[in-house]
Amino acid sequence: LQFAGIPVYADIGTGYFDAVEVDTMISLLKVIDNPRQDIFLAGVLRSPLFTFNLDDLATIRFSVKAKDMYSSLKAFVGLDHPLAERVNIFLGKLDDWRTKARRGSLADLIWAIYCETGYYHFVGTMPGGSQRQANLRALYDRARQYESGSYRGLFRFLRFIERLQSGGSDLGTARALGENENVVRIMSVHKSKGLEFPIVFVAGLGKRFNMQDLNGNVLMHKDLGLGLNIVDTNTRVIYPTLSKQAIRHKLEMEALAEEMRILYVALTRAKEKLVLTGSCQNMEKSLQKWAEAISCAEWYLPDSLLAQDRTWLDWIGRAIIRHRAGKPLRERAGGEVDWEINTGYGSRDEIGDYPCQWQIKISSLSELSEKKEDLDLPLTEFWERVKQGQPVDAHGQWTQEIGKRLSWQYPWKRVSACAAKTTVTGLRQEFEPQSREGESRMFGAEHKMPSFLLEERDLNAAEKGTALHLVMQHLDFSRVDSDSVIREQVETMVVEEIITARQADVVDVSSIARFFATHFGKRIRNATDVKKELPFTLALSAEEIYPDFAQEIEGEVVLVQGVIDLVFRDNDGWVIVDYKTGKVNDFNCENLATKYQSQLDLYARALSNAWKCTIKEKYVYFFSIEKLIMIP
């Protein structure tokens, strides 16, 4: 089905390690673990990963006399031969992968191989490409899952796989499809219970029932007990007892009843169309046996006939041959005349004329073989030319569609660079690239330095600003009367591990005390409500942020997130304060404050939308020059 281009899915519990793509990757992992394994090394070299052929391997092996293939490859690099460059590339990749295997995780190694070799995309172009890619993803996921426990490393992972294979265990192929995919599903009759499909194919009707359990020396039945053989030591003859024969007959009838129940399940899964296929060794003999049911006038076939059969095809054949649509079967059996004579059989008329539609096709093995050869010939020639690297016919019914898909471009490529979620500082820096102060504490914008590293080196300007903001966030504004009181609070923050001792040293306590000693600082201390480091999320129209792409992004929304340093309310209303810790001077602070106007306007807009209030004032305070500037 896959070679015919029909999407198919089979939920089976085995076959994972036998998949070509999985076997190739495991062979490569074994070579990375130990390159002196000639069989696996030769398999990897011949695989699509490196495309060496048998002549190439023979040339390398016989050009250099060495104990193993890996030694031959290393020595072959020094020869003046056209293959030497390819061998050198392979050895370079192998050394790189072995280094990654020692230093990194196994899952990262596997994914790196997929990316560097393009093997993941290559198998996607093969028949059943989606399933093959799912198998490779499953190998990556299982490696990651394996290392999530106490066991780690490539060697142990390979031993784990070897134990599975030596124990006869296997892993089911990866699920590449969901429950509602439009594909052909292959499943057992048992797994189809409770399911229905528009069209159902029931294949293998000619397979004989498994009655091996009836041939044992001892038979057991839950009601009849044990059935044993009699051993005549004098004549050295073994024959079954009467009880064993009775138990065997009982078990045989129960097995046939179970087979009939399973057949019922298979025949009732189709909602629109049911296709039944089966084969028999001697068609004429089977037809003669089925024709015995023609004379049966009752709806149900007698148990004496059904008990003789050992395949589903025999049961179905006996039933269909009695229907008017079974004429092709009766003609081949030579019983059409007798059937026509007996059509005045009263109740049999309703059987023969039952309103169901059957189409019966009988084909010989030779006819099917000829059809298969006709279908396989063009495909075989095509793949042979592909394997040999020869050009193939590029003109066909899919040429235009393939060209269309390969030349496809994402229609919204221009707006793909527009952020769907950003920060206030990010917006300001994007539209005003000249305004870089280096301080950004928005979500996802800051990569914090580990605390133990902060103790070992001097803090940069951004880290000093972060320390000051942390102090201002946790400072008790009711106790900021003097330097000593503020320093006491800072020391408490160090004890509580809010900041480190190194951060505490760079905080200018005197500057904070002078800030709260001003008229504006006293307003904050006397405020009725104070919010520190207040996070917010604001939904803005995408056209407002990216007016150049208004047509492409019409109706879209951009989420803007940020943190407001300080918001307080006094008798006059709500006031926003934004601290700035970068170095400025009295000459450029006014210009800088103007550049922050859009940022504070967004703060005010976010609070107005969330709290349904009016923001009366907005301020920027520069700690480096201890200056407060009002933003209109």
Tens digit of pLDDT for each residue in 373-382?
555 555 566 6
Query: Which of 123-127, 332-336, 585-589 is predicted least confidently?
Result: 332-336
The average pLDDT across 300-326 equals 89
Task: Dump the DSSP string for 6-61.
Answer: --EEE--SSBTTTSHHHHHHHHHHHHHH-S--HHHHHHHHHSTTT---HHHHHHHH
pLDDT at 480 over 60: yes
pLDDT band at residue 446 using 50, 70 and 90 as cut-offs: very low
pLDDT band at residue 434 using 50, 70 and 90 as cut-offs: very low
**0.75 exceeded by pTM:** no
Q: According to the model, what pLDDT value does residue 311 have?
A: 93
The average pLDDT across 346-362 equals 75
Q: According to the model, what pLDDT value does residue 162 have?
A: 87
pLDDT at 368 over 80: no
**pLDDT tens-digit series, residues 80-107:** 888 999 999 999 999 999 999 998 899 9
d(CA 281, CA 289) in angstroms, rounded, equals: 13
Residues with Cβ within 8 Å of 170's Cβ and at least 6 positions away in sequence, in order, are: 13, 14, 15, 16, 17, 18, 164
The SS3 of residue 442 is coil
Q: Name the more confident of 71 and 429.
A: 71
Q: According to the model, what pLDDT value does residue 592 have?
A: 75
**pLDDT tens-digit series, residues 487-538:** 999 999 999 989 998 889 999 999 999 999 999 999 999 888 999 999 999 8
Q: According to the model, what pLDDT value does residue 371 have?
A: 61
Q: What is the dotted CATH code of the domain comprising 13-166? A: 1.10.486.10
Q: Name the more confident of 526 and 150.
A: 526
Rg (CA), the chain: 41
The average pLDDT across 313-333 equals 87
Q: According to the model, what pLDDT value does residue 585 have?
A: 79
pLDDT at 168 over 80: no
Q: What does the mean pLDDT of the chain come to?
A: 83
* Alpha helical stretches, state H, 291-414: 303-306, 312-320, 327-333, 336-341, 348-352, 365-387, 399-406
Selection from 11-15, 407-411, 467-471 with the highest mean pLDDT: 467-471
Percent with pLDDT over 90 in the chain: 36
Query: Which of 136-140, 270-274, 417-421, 510-514 is predicted least confidently?
Result: 417-421
CA distances to 41, 96, 367, 609 from 76, in Å: 15, 19, 54, 73
Of residues 513, 502, 492, 491, the one with CA closest to residue 466: 502
d(CA 82, CA 87) in angstroms, rounded, equals: 10
Q: According to the model, what pLDDT value does residue 242 have?
A: 93
pLDDT at 624 over 80: yes
d(CA 523, CA 362) in angstroms, rounded, equals: 99
pLDDT at 448 over 60: no
d(CA 76, CA 61) in angstroms, rounded, equals: 9
Q: According to the model, what pLDDT value does residue 411 have?
A: 82
pLDDT band at residue 443 using 50, 70 and 90 as cut-offs: very low
Q: According to the model, what pLDDT value does residue 67 have?
A: 87
Domain spanning 421-631, CATH architecture: Alpha-Beta Complex (3.90)
pLDDT band at residue 112 using 50, 70 and 90 as cut-offs: very high
Q: Name the more confident of 259 and 390.
A: 259
The average pLDDT across 396-412 equals 82
Query: Which of 34-43, 265-274, 287-296, 303-312 is predicted least confidently?
Result: 287-296
| Domain definitions of the chain by residue range | 13-166, 421-631
pLDDT at 303 over 50: yes
Residue recorded with tokens 């394994």:
37
pLDDT at 341 over 80: no
pLDDT at 392 over 80: no
Q: Using the 8-state DSSP alphabet, how is residue 455 labeled?
A: T
Q: According to the model, what pLDDT value does residue 487 have?
A: 92
Q: Name the more confident of 150 and 277.
A: 277
pLDDT at 444 over 50: no
The average pLDDT across 571-595 equals 82
